Amino acid sequence: MKFSRRIEKLKPYLFVEINKKIAEKKARGEEVISFAIGDPDIPTPAHIIEKLCQAAHDPVNHRYPETAGLPELCRAIAGWYQRRFDVYLDPETEVLPLIGSKEGIGHIAFCFIDAGDIALVPDPAYPVYSISTLLAGGKPYYLALKEENNFLPDLDNISKNVLRKAKLLWINYPNNPTGAVAGLDFYTKVVAFARQHDIAVCHDGPYSEVAFDGYKPASFMQANGAKAIGVEFQSLSKIYNMTGWRIGMVVGNARMVDALRRLKSNLDSGIPQAIQYAAIAALTGPQDCIAEHNAIYQRRRDQVIEVLNKIGLKVTVPKASFYIWAKVPDGYTSVDFTADLLDQVGVAVTPGVGYGQNGESYVRLSLTVPDAALEKWLMQLSRWRNTRQTEVKK
């Protein structure tokens, strides 16, 4: 058998070593509390599941769906954007439902990237932006996200050579993994940059509804001229705790949406219709669950940060997303510190370097841990400090 170069080039999963350690500990019967996975622990709201069950019984929904998605779903998405962001979208040309937003994020590279083309990709970032670029035969050019710049990329210092070959720019706010946010002023700058250099923008915004202290994240689509040069990926996964159902969407520039629709119509056969009806129920039904979930995440955020600070880790309090991006203590790499936490107190976090070179010296903690486990973990974490102190005294 001879595999393709593109599949051979795919590096083993970033977190192999840590996962191996977790598996070993579990095999020995030791408990591991994981803060490593960004997947809501709270169930999908009941009225959404009701609709899903009801739709599943209807034989109409047992047949192939259309790639373009149900027209009612496209209208529900446009309606949600209108109510939430005061953004008008044409449901027929500017909206495309996806089999989870990751699916569209992965596939859109094939609409833009030819061999040797560049995609501008933040570092650290959700790994799919660079992997899809590589799979399409292109090269990611990394834009460092630094704490001193509030984890926003510097668009003013990219060489002409890179800009000439760049076809796509990826941005993501509220940000995974840093928890940073961006305002309309940044998005407006991105639009000007993209139009000047003729680069298509993909904004990935699945955390727009996970926000704290009354903060309301903006949509990239609210920036003047955004529709002329870019799209926004959204997802029901993090808004309504629907990661398991696989449904998201891309909205914005009609030519970009059409290109992705054409590609997908040749690859997949749409989203199961019962799930599309559940999504309509989610987007058009009561929205109280969002504030309820955010109150839970906010309480957890404050509890976690209090303990992290106590043991000497520096943390910027996130305004949005369910991630805490914490600087590791001096003398540790992100991988060393992750391994040490796991060995000493059985707590798993994600090493920042897994999201790119600029993630080094940070770890990411996800707040999607059930409250009972959280209490236990916080006690464990204090123990980590004690193991360090005795060592220092010795």
Ligand X SMILES: *Cc1c(COP(=O)(O)O)cnc(C)c1O
| Interface residue list for ligand X (CB under 6 A) | 38, 100-102, 126, 172, 176, 204, 206, 235, 237-238, 243, 248
Residue 242 CB, nearest approach to ligand X (Å)? 8
Phi, psi of 300 (to 5 degrees): -65, -40
Between 126 and 240, name the residue whose CB sits nearer to ligand X. 126
Residue 177 CB, nearest approach to ligand X (Å)? 8
What amino acid is encoded at 78 in this protein?
A
Between 67 and 243, name the residue whose CB sits nearer to ligand X. 243
Residues in the chain: 394
Between 345 and 363, name the residue whose CB sits nearer to ligand X. 363
Q: What is the 3-state secondary structure (H, E, C) of 163-230?
A: HHHEEEEEECCCCCCCCCCCCHHHHHHHHHHHHHHCCEEEEECCCCCCECCCCCCCCHHHCCCHHHHE
Q: With 0-12 CB in 10 A as exposed, 13-18 as middle and 19+ as buried, what is 169? A: buried
Closest CA to 271 of 109, 129, 66: 66
For every residue of 86-117, DSSP letters joined together read -----TTTSEEEESSHHHHHHHTHHHHPPTT-
Residue 361 CB, nearest approach to ligand X (Å)? 21
Residue 16 CB, nearest approach to ligand X (Å)? 20
Please give the angle made by the CA atoms of 286, 291 and 293, to the nearest 5 degrees: 105
Closest CA to 253 of 206, 208, 207, 195: 195
Residue 118 CB, nearest approach to ligand X (Å)? 21
Q: Are 371 and 378 in contact (CB under 8 A)?
A: no
Residue 231 CB, nearest approach to ligand X (Å)? 13
User: Which SS3 state, helix, strand or coil, does residue 351 take?
Assistant: strand
Between 67 and 172, name the residue whose CB sits nearer to ligand X. 172
Please give the angle made by the CA atoms of 66, 67 and 68, to the nearest 5 degrees: 90
Residue 63 CB, nearest approach to ligand X (Å)? 24
Between 94 and 103, name the residue whose CB sits nearer to ligand X. 103
Q: Are 252 and 94 in contact (CB under 8 A)?
A: yes
Between 37 and 53, name the residue whose CB sits nearer to ligand X. 37
Between 44 and 176, name the residue whose CB sits nearer to ligand X. 176
